[in-house]
Amino acid sequence: MELLVFGLNHKTAPLGLRERWSFSPGESELALERISSAIADSEHLILSTCNRTEFYSAIPASSGLVRNLDQENSPLGELTSFYLGGDEENAGLDEHFYLYRQENAVKHLFRVAGGLDSMIIGETEIMRQLKDAYALSEKNSASGKMFRRLFPEALKVGKKVRTSTSISEGCITPGQAALRLAMEALGELTGKRALLIGSGVVAGVTAKALIE
């Protein structure tokens, strides 16, 4: 089996492109069904957050997709078409995507779980997002023997990183970072009003930080 991680994140793609390829749970389910049926005996998981969309796959080494990856100077275009569809709007995006294989794919997953690959180092939200992504993969029968060992282990690694190091001390959410910047600029916030523009999980966490 070939283990692959294919995706983009805040380091490789601008916000507009990340938003364009963000998957809701419903969209992830449809994509899991499509890519799982394309290659027999394969395993898949989609991790989609505000800062990344990543496809984790375990694919038989004999499949055409894997064999093509071994070609010299193999472009990422085939992977883009496989995971995102063959629409013309997907063309020319190779520079924004990355690919990790085998051991490097495992290392990347563990870095993600440990919060080392996050915009805010050590943030904890990624642990819940990974757990939810794994649960969705299981729900849609997209996980198999490899993923049932790999992803629980990654969650253990993420927990151990945070309990055995000081990585999660200080600002670990965008809301906390915004609060610290506000206090540095304005001083004491008692009696002041805050305006949040937007909605969703990040805005909720920011509001909670400001209220506290």
| 171 is a catalytic site residue | no
Alpha helix ranges (H) inside the chain: 15-20, 25-38, 64-69, 77-84, 103-113, 125-139, 145-164, 174-186, 201-211
Spot the catalytic one: 38, 39, 50, 182: 50
Q: What are phi and psi of 42, to 5 degrees?
A: -105, 160
d(CA 45, CA 136): 8
Q: What are phi and psi of 48, to 5 degrees?
A: -125, 115
d(CA 136, CA 43): 12
Sheet hosting strand 43-48, strand order edge to edge = 43-48, 52-59, 2-9, 98-101
Inter-CA distances, 78 with 130, 193, 202, 204, Å: 26, 50, 33, 38
Q: So which residues are the catalytic ones?
A: 50
